């Protein structure tokens, strides 16, 4: 499994790199807090609506022990998606490091 660390992800976002950042949690969790620029895919049936096998994709979920992004990574890999990485720290690592986030729990 290919991983990406917070600093590299932060730089990719800052540069405006062309990739899909995917939060693999429920709609409720996404609406509560997500990394800016993320899309939410919580069901396998949504994949083809949002992702192409040629896309560069970074998946994440809530924290290092959350398995949703692991399952998503494995399912995408088996389906032929090759440019995959996992941000294992998830939204917890992102928020705790002071990075900006969006959602209903974000300070306004």
What is the rounded CA–CA span in Å between residue 38 and residue 60? Answer: 10
Beta strands in 34-87 (DSSP E): 39-40, 57-60, 84-87
Would you state the pLDDT for residue 37? 96
| CATH of region 6-96, choose from 3.30.310.50, 3.40.50.80, 3.30.420.130, 3.40.250.10 | 3.40.250.10
What are the backbone dihedrals phi and psi of residue 41, each rounded to the nearest 5 degrees, phi first?
Answer: -130, 105
Would you state the pLDDT for residue 29? 95
Q: Which residues of the chain have pLDDT under 50?
A: none
Would you state the pLDDT for residue 107? 63
Rounded (5°) CA angle 51-73-15: 60
Would you state the pLDDT for residue 103? 94
Would you state the pLDDT for residue 48? 86
pLDDT tens-digit profile of 79-98? 999 999 999 999 999 999 99
Would you state the pLDDT for residue 43? 86
């Amino acid at each position: 499994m290919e991983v990406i660390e917070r600093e590299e992800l932060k730089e990719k976002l800052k540069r405006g790199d062309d990739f899909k950042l995917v939060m693999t949690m429920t709609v409720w969790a996404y609406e509560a807090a997500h990394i800016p620029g993320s899309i939410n895919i919580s069901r396998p049936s949504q994949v083809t609506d949002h992702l192409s096998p040629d896309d560069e994709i970074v998946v994440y979920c809530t924290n290092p022990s959350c398995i949703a992004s692991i399952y998503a990574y494995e399912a995408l890999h088996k389906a032929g998606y090759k440019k995959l990485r996992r941000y294992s720290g998830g939204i917890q690592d992102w928020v705790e490091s002071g990075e900006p986030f969006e959602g209903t729990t974000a300070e306004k």
